[in-house]
């Protein structure tokens, strides 16, 4: 057996330790009120946990009388989610191609990306609040909110998938005398389809969850009912609604997973 | 482009209107990162000639063929392809030139998830308005041309299959059909057999030679293997570090010539070996 003369292993631990110390210091600073950090008083949990506990107990004592009133808003929530995902899917396909380098080598790509970064920077409840003020209470502001939210998610993920995939086929399209639009339509769309369809399904899953709370600010769906029963301290009814939403979310995720497997 | 004549037979569907000459006059290419890929290359290829461009990887072969269809613009010098001055072309006129120049690639460059039919239809891009492609409308003539091109490389029965499901040799044949459906005047091939096993490599090279002989197309094929160049082409261009170091008959290029082109003694891997 020979002893191999391997080069010395580079020392990485001082760097790791330094990074961890910095992270720990930043975290400590954020919870130190004296220097502008937030006040986190874990003692309140110990002092007040029984208040929360009675509410949880009430939730586990279901008030089924709310059930008949939940069907319509629950259906509305689902409809908002589906319409929002479908409308954003239509817009997301061309936008994803315009936001990726292989499918759009011009400066226009940066413009599309900048707009979408701005769209993504706004939280969904802020969109809903503003849109309710602009177009009125109901399902429409909910749908618009989800379209904006989904565009941000789907276009980002799909355009990054295009960026990271091997796009040599596009060179053949251009070499044959095609325009970028022709090559995108005939070659990039089929190549990108699985990533695109998968992200659209994911946006549908997110939508069902988000549209459940959009009603809190008047944007339609079951959220309005949640706000109402909470206002009347009907925790038994709230528990029933939460279970219903849970069932719907799980069903949508199962369906979406089954569909996604068929994309491979 | 003038109106496409109606197609009566597969041969007529692929008939090109006459090969183009290719002339490079003192062409240099410097990439934005500072790499000089071609240095003052002057070259004249006659219509209908089949020319091998030989050199090691990094010698500038890929850059050379890409200056012919404008995929890589020449930094200085002049590239003349048929009636076109490549450096002066933009937009629609550049696409017209590219429509007349077919190209096949080492990695085949097919859209694997699209059908073979769709991939070959790409060859009709230059003859199709963008809006028709966007709406997915292919004309009857385009369809006939695509089927004839697939038939001419023996891939007609795979027409509705997915391109990604084919073997390497089949993929390169589909890529050749894609180039043929352009009804090109010039055919460029960038290391067309470097990703194929030896028997398949020979049959793809034979396809290229047959296209050159039957249709009289001007063919420029990049190769790094000396025996393929000798066997399938009539004339050979040698490139080393971006400079033209040999231009002469392929058959009479002996080992000394190849050592000069490669800039080193010959090795076993410089030859492919015979089929089978």
Cβ within 8 Å, pair A177-B114: no
List of chain B residues whose C-beta atoms are within 8 Å of the C-beta of residue A175? 69, 71, 98, 101, 103
CATH code: domain B20-100+186-266 is 3.40.50.300
Domain boundaries, chain A: 13-43, 62-261
d(CA B179, CA B192): 13
Q: CB under 8 Å, gap of 24 or more: what pairs does B232-236 form?
A: B232/B50, B232/B52, B232/B205, B232/B206, B232/B208, B233/B50, B233/B51, B233/B52, B233/B209, B234/B49, B234/B50, B234/B51, B235/B45, B235/B49, B235/B50, B235/B51, B235/B52, B236/B51, B236/B52, B236/B53, B236/B54
pLDDT, averaged across chain A: 88
> How high is the pLDDT of residue B15?
58
Alpha helices (H) in B153-245, listed in sequence order: 168-180, 198-215, 226-232
Interface test mutation site (partner A, options B104, B109, B172, B191, max chain A beta carbons within 10 A): B109
> How high is the pLDDT of residue A139?
85
Among A169, A175, A176, the residue with its CB nearest the CB of B111 is A169
The Cα-based distances of A61 to A58, A244, B85, B204 in angstroms read: 5, 15, 83, 75
Residues facing residue B188 across a β-bridge: B103, B220
Strands (E), chain A: none
For range B11-19, the mean pLDDT: 65
> How high is the pLDDT of residue B1?
39
CA-nearest residue to B190 within chain A is A172
> How high is the pLDDT of residue A89?
93
**pLDDT tens digits, B21-39:** 888 888 888 888 888 888 8
* Statement: residue B6 has pLDDT above 50: no
> How high is the pLDDT of residue A213?
86
Q: Which of B41-50, B88-97, B256-265 has the lowest mean pLDDT?
A: B256-265
d(CA A66, CA A229): 9
Q: Which residue has the higher pLDDT, B226 or A180?
A: A180
Q: Which of B33-37, B98-102, B170-174 has the lowest mean pLDDT?
A: B33-37
> How high is the pLDDT of residue B178?
93
pLDDT band for position B4 (cuts 50, 70, 90): very low
Min distance A216 CA to chain B CA atoms (Å):
42
Cβ-contact B148, B190 below 8 angstroms = no
Q: Which of A21-25, A184-188, B257-261 has the lowest mean pLDDT?
A: B257-261
> How high is the pLDDT of residue A97?
92
Domain boundaries, chain B: 20-100+186-266, 105-183
* Statement: residue B92 has pLDDT above 50: yes
Q: What's domain A62-261's superfamily in CATH?
A: MetI-like (1.10.3720.10)
> How high is the pLDDT of residue B9?
53
- Which pTM does this prediction carry? 0.80
> How high is the pLDDT of residue B12?
55
pLDDT band for position B8 (cuts 50, 70, 90): very low
The Cα-based distances of A201 to A68, A81, A96, A140, B195 in angstroms read: 29, 11, 16, 21, 37
């Amino acid at each position: 057996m020979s002893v191999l003369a391997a080069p010395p292993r580079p020392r990485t631990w001082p760097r790791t330790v330094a990074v961890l110390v910095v992270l720990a210091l930043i975290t400590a600073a954020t919870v130190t009120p004296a220097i502008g950090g937030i006040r986190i008083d874990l003692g309140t949990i110990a002092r007040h946990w029984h208040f929360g506990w009675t509410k949880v107990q009430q939730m586990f004592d279901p008030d089924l009388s709310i059930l008949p009133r939940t069907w319509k808003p629950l259906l509305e929530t689902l409809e908002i989610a589906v319409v929002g995902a479908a409308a954003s899917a239509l817009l997301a396909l061309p936008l994803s191609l315009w936001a990726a380098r292989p499918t759009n080598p011009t400066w226009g790509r940066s413009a599309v990306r900048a707009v979408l970064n701005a769209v993504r920077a706004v939280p969904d409840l802020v969109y809903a609040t503003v849109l309710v003020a602009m177009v009125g209470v109901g399902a429409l502001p909910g749908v618009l909110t989800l379209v904006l939210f989904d565009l941000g998610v789907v276009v980002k993920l799909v355009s990054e998938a295009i960026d990271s995939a091997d796009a040599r086929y596009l060179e053949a399209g251009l070499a044959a005398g095609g325009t970028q639009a022709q090559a995108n339509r005939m070659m990039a769309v089929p190549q990108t389809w699985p990533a695109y369809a998968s992200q659209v399904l994911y946006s549908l899953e997110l939508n069902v969850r988000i549209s459940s709370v959009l009603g809190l600010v008047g944007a339609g769906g079951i959220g309005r009912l949640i706000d109402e029963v909470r206002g009347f301290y009907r925790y038994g009814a709230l528990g029933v609604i939460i279970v219903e939403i849970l069932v719907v979310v799980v069903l949508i995720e199962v369906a979406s997973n089954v569909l996604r497997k068929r994309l491979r | 482009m003038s109106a496409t004549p109606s197609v009566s037979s597969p041969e007529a569907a692929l008939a090109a209107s006459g090969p183009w000459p290719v002339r490079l006059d003192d062409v240099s290419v410097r990439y934005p990162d500072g790499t000089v890929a071609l240095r003052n290359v002057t070259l004249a290829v006659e219509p209908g000639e089949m020319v091998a461009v030989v050199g090691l990887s990094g010698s500038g072969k890929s850059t050379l063929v890409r200056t012919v269809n404008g995929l890589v613009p020449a930094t200085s010098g002049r590239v003349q392809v048929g009636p076109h001055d490549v450096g002066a072309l933009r937009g629609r006129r550049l696409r017209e030139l590219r429509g007349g120049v077919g190209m096949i690639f080492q990695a085949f460059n097919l859209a694997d998830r699209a059908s073979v039919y769709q991939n070959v239809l790409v060859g009709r891009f230059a003859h199709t308005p963008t809006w028709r492609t966007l709406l997915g409308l292919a004309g009857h003539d385009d369809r006939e041309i695509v089927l004839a091109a697939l038939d001419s490389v023996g891939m007609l029965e795979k027409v509705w299959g997915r391109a990604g499901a084919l073997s390497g040799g089949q993929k390169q044949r589909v890529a050749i059909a894609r180039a043929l459906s352009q009804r090109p005047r010039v055919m460029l091939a960038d290391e067309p057999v470097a990703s194929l096993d030896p028997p398949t490599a020979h049959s793809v090279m034979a396809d290229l030679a047959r296209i050159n002989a039957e249709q009289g197309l001007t063919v420029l094929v990049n190769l790094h293997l000396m025996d393929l160049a000798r066997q399938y082409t009539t004339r050979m261009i040698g490139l080393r570090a971006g400079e033209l170091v040999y231009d002469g008959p392929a058959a009479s290029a002996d080992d000394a010539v190849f050592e000069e082109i490669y800039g080193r003694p010959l090795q076993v891997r410089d030859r492919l070996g015979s089929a089978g």
